Structure 1
């Protein structure tokens, strides 16, 4: 039976400490002081191929303005300007609590991709807006707004969403509620559709 040698034990300890130090140094080198990992926007199962499969049209554009958390203005590749309403979600209005934070969250995600975006839509609504899914490099920003706690799933329009999105969006809202993210820090946040009914002139 081999006898225990203190020197061998010391070597093992030093080796473990050295490995740990290297790992820490690598992490600091990648992220830098005070930095964190890049925010992951992709959601499970997100596939741009859904667009053709479910009858959506896809256009590539540059986002020129973000007035609130569920609306953007875009310029298409042929120079046409369009207003886009994000399908299946409803964000706080600008004058509501969390309205500015919701807008800022959407703006930040768009900025990460240089404001280049894709819009998957079927048709325009009665106000002449494109109603669809806003994506950056395949990342679903409608979903991200719900996931981050800055928008509700807009029940009246769930039927118009891609079939694979419906339950995923609902699950994201439930998770945001549980974790008290964004507007869910308020135990009873006012719903934007109720706010609009109470403030018709502000719409």
Structure 2
């Protein structure tokens, strides 16, 4: 509230020069400036809040780019770039620095993820027990819609969609195991269809 601490000398000069109307103007401008600043900071804080739908907390983000089948770069409400690692599943490598580790299946998974998503698309992150990994990536389940329903997981959650469509395998990364059994069921179903 430093704006509200009015400089007494400045007020005295304003009063001399412009009279009482000048003093009132300075006070009103100072208070209005504080009000606007408080209002704007409360609005940006509200936009950063996670919201809940069907009992699931989601954080909206904007897709900036797809790194590979299971890694994205998004922009959060703070306009920060965040690297997101999809959890509960794993895709083969396609952009590993050691070229020998990259596979055709990894490239297919990467292309599939790119075909499902659009740069600028709003995605919704759901967190599990750990929010980041040792590489400082955000760990999340990525929902394609904010109307989440675990019954529609195979079509509305990117992690599950990759498993259900055969581009990823279900993989537990403890302690992040919220959807492990569902993802394993989707993997079994995908393997049975082949």
Q: TM-score, length-normalised on structure 2?
A: 0.59
Distance 2:115 2:106 in 1: 14
Could you tell me how far apart the structure 2 residues matched to 1:82 and 1:148 are? Answer: 26
1:161 aligns with 2:169: no
Separation in structure 2 between the aligned mates of residue 117 and residue 173 of structure 1, nearest angstrom: 23
Structure 2 unaligned segments of length 5 or more: list them. 1-51, 95-101, 149-155
Of residues 113, 122, 140 in structure 2, which corresponds to 1:116? 122
Q: Match for residue 152 of structure 1?
A: 169
- Listed as ranges, the gaps of 5+ residues in structure 1 are 1-46, 53-57, 181-203
Number of positions where the alignment pairs a residue of Structure 1 with one of Structure 2: 125
Which residue matches 1:192?
Answer: none
Structure 1 vs Structure 2 CA RMSD: 2.0
For 1:106 and 1:152, the matched residues in 2 are separated by 14
What are the superposed Cα offsets for residues 48-102 of structure 1, whole Å, 9 maximum, x if unpaired?
Answer: 53434xxxxx321111111111100001122011000001111011021211111
Larger radius of gyration: 2
Q: Secondary structure at the match of 2:166?
A: coil
Whole-angstrom distance in 2 between the partners of 1:131 and 1:102: 19
- Matched residue, 1:75: 75
Contact 1:64/1:75, CA 8 A, preserved across alignment: yes
What does residue 173 of structure 1 align with?
Answer: 187
